[in-house]
Amino acid sequence: MLFPVDNNFKAYHQAAEILKALAHPVRLCIIRGLMEKKQCNVSYMQECLDLPQSTVSQHLQKLRSAGIVEAERNGLEIHYRIVDEKIQQLITVLFKEEQV
């Protein structure tokens, strides 16, 4: 049998939404940075990426909406971190050759 019998398109829809959210070079870079630092704020990301704060915030909002990252307020700063280990595994597989 070539195709799985499972017609549970809800699971496929969720996976597709995650892949769509990750399908941008800046968002992939943000995720890789969060994998290294575990968590950080927008100001730090803005400096590393050399992008306007508003641009970084827009990308983070897409990642939050997809359930890939979550935000935690720490005083005046908001720190972001990756929510799901599966995302880290996916990114590790995507960039495996670069880690050699």
Give the domain range for residue 81. 9-99
Q: What is the pLDDT of residue 65?
A: 92
In a domain, 33, yes or no: yes
Average pLDDT, the chain: 87
Quick check: 35 and 68 in contact, CB under 8 A?
no
pLDDT at 1 over 70: no
In a domain, 2, yes or no: no
Q: What is the pLDDT of residue 3?
A: 62
d(CA 2, CA 89): 26
What's 13's domain CATH number?
A: 1.10.10.10
In a domain, 88, yes or no: yes
In a domain, 32, yes or no: yes
In a domain, 45, yes or no: yes
Total domains in the chain come to 1
In a domain, 1, yes or no: no
pLDDT at 95 over 50: yes
**SS3 assignment, position 52:** coil
d(CA 34, CA 54): 18
- List beta partners, residue 77: 74
In a domain, 3, yes or no: no
